[in-house]
Structure 1
Amino acid sequence: MPSHLSADRPADRAPSGAGPVEALITRTRQLRTDMDAVRRGTESNGTNPADRWQRALYDLALTHLEDLDEHLAQLREGPPPTAGSPEALPASPALGGEAATAPGRIGSAEWELLTDEVRWSAEFYEILGMAPTAHALTLDELPSLVLDEDRPRLTAMVTDCLVDGRPIDGEFRITRPDDGRVRSVHMKGEPVLDADGNTASMWAVLRDVSELRRHRRTVSETRDSLRHRRPARSGQGLVVEPQEALLPPWHGFLRLPRQGGPGSLEVAAHRLPFEGPGEPAGSDWYDACELPGGETLLGVGSLDGEPSAVATGTAMVIGGLRGMAMAGTAPGQLTAWLGDLVSGTARPLTGPALCCRYRAETRTLRWAGRPAPMLFRDGTGRRLRMPDGQAEAEHRLEAGDLLVLHTPGPATGRDGERRLTGLARTLLAEPTAQGAARVLVDTFTAERRTGTACVLVARVQG
């Protein structure tokens, strides 16, 4: 690990190993160029799952090489000056004039415990989305940028470092003050001891790993897609197939109605994988499509039953849902008929469903079923309510609204709903439905559950 900010070597002096480092940079850039050429030579239209998996691995490897190139360039330059000094403001020459926020750049910081002095490099400010002239946050203030659910993780790392002298090595998510974007960052550091062996300060390096995590998720999802296309004795491998055909995760989004315009929806969806032991109890589905007359169908649901029945039942439900919606069936009747459809099969299935019809011209949402949709607006989130005694509800949406449909899972129940509404500002800060869906996946997919879950996100366009 590199030395902390109080190193004796001047910042403007090249490290003694500049020659070997320069050679490593040359080799890394050549390897990156060669790999990019191979990737371009194997590109296809992306419709084959094996091709998507291969492309995802190439992208992940290239991201690692780009990070390595940036890290070696910073090593060649030597420790950066702290923010606020004149030489800290221009872009680094190793970037050819690009901003210091380029992927892979590392920021460094040191917190003095006795004097409360804080020293940040310019890159540290940039990664956190703060102006170079802003007040450098103390260790007590730093969690104010961190997402609520990640604050305990950061607090534990800092406490372990200051009290027990343990190195810091972990990730957490921040909300950048300058643009409101949520980014994943990785912090690595250690305590600095005084002559008596007591902790005098803490130093750390920080880098933005959002793109790296995104590429890793893509590799994992495309790998899972390949696995699900192979025969599975339980039948569960067949369940995902129609879902991927209707709305592939992370490979684009749907704009409904297709012609776009004010009030149209940008839609993204994802199926959260099963994290528990053994076989999942049932499966989940989602769908979105344009209906005659310009309306949009949105739906999510769950199916419980024998694995082989669930596999065939998913395709039956999606086909039946679309057919009835195309014929003009209202959401209240849709949910009732879907229940009759799955319960009347040779091997009966059960499970809740949520069905919505949306008209862009009036921004009117009609819905029925459960769990009820979550509406995010003006920095807050709430679950829509069904009027007493009614089988269907109607709600008028506004430009910029974010609608979240999900099946029963970690986001349900009092605690799950509280965590979901706590993500309101983070979700609304995402400029796309895909970005908001990724936030939900990152928040809930790591939790152990008894089955799968689906989330569908729709953003109303202005």
Structure 2
Amino acid sequence: MPSPHSADHSAAQPPQPPRDTVDALISQTRRLRGDMDAVRRDTTADLDRADDPQLRWQRALCDLAVHHLDDLGRNLDQLREGVPTDPAEAEAPSEAEAGTGGRPAAEPPPPPGSAYATSARDAGPEGQGSLLSRVGSAEWNLLTDAVTWSDELCQIFGRAPEEGGLPLDELPSWVFSEDQPTLTALVTDCLVDGKPIDGEFRIVRADGVVRTVHMSGEPVLDDDGSTASMWAVLRDVSELRRSERAVRETRDSLRRQRHIAQTEHRVAVELQQAVLPVWRGSPRPSPAGPAALDLAAHYFPASTSTLIGGDWYDALELPDGGTLLSVGDLTGHGVAATSGVAMLLGAVRGMAVTGVAPGALMSWLNQLLDASEQPALGSAVCGRYDPATRTLVWAQAAHPAPLLFRDGTGRALRPPEGVLLGATPGATYTQYGERLEPGDLLVLHTGGLWPYGADAEGDAGAERLLGLAPRFATAHSAQECVRAVVEAFDDERREDDACVLIARVGS
């Protein structure tokens, strides 16, 4: 490699770093490379999340870090190879290195398959081999027009060593048209203004391979201070730039996905708030009458997801003086689920206003979901309360039965027959009636109120609600009862959202 020199510096070789210092840096780099491999293996182990943008971004960062460490190791390897000044010392390994392939005896051998285990003569410019195939030098003599390229630089450009290097006037023809102004500016600033060279450009080799090259160097001045030649080191940084580009692309993809998720969440929340009753979480004014219902409700968001689910509750005064009570859960999350809830609630309200009984209403909902362009499944409870007779007529579709609390104790109502909505075309649903008494409390809820697991299978979740009977007995309003449920369940790590609707019969 030609040695750079200028009018301000002698042509003598600069002092070289001690070999033991370089060996210590190489050992540290190898250990760090091994640690980085372990991190990369852990990051790529989750094959089930291969399409996760955040996981792809993490993998790209690991690959970029590995490329940087590989390049650092190769630079240090070449630095150590260039340390000896005595040709005999360069050819013969020291006693400490004998039998270790040129490595200091204190250093562990490189791990199999690592970048350091590949010899320079076995690696091409596209491989993961030694720095000898990734960095080359060049000098263009302005006085004699001589061009001197190292064999490594010829390899980067895909040229045979016997072909020699490219003159400065031919070099732009190998460069991308978009990058030619960059190369021209670098060379002009160096030759005319004496500025150091530091820039990148892309080349297209004769075999069609595209490489990204970083060029650094300086002008070489003669005794009169005039530019005699230009010296440069050219480094193939294609793999580094490819890794950096992968990091940028995966990061941008992650940001886009997060933005989409945030937008969908906002739209779903707005749609849910527009659909569910406005008295959610606060007492609803009770209609006149001694047997009227005092109503309150609460929505519990999922703790493991930012998406709104398809749980709903509703209470609606009917033209005949009765009250419609319903809760349900539609499969899915986000805008699709909340828009499906809007469709179902519209249908429930419309049919209830026209006097359709709960059992027939469930049959129509089942047919509606079965015929929908976006098939979905749902569970629900729908009841009609008549204040004149204090009777609740209700039907259910594979949903937890309402809980009835009376005189300090509670029980689940015996459920009528009913299958999941949208699962069986033409399914029929029976309905049962339940006579209520003054002071009775009805609790309608969705299944996500408690977390999934062995302790929540069967009726365990409902038993937890039934355990609140003493608190319900001393409450003075439906809202106080809802507050008791919130205090008991709001700290749960739910995997799905949930809601509870409480109706208290007036005395």
Q: TM-score, normalised by structure 2?
A: 0.43
TM-score (norm: length of structure 1): 0.47
Rg larger in 1 or in 2? 2
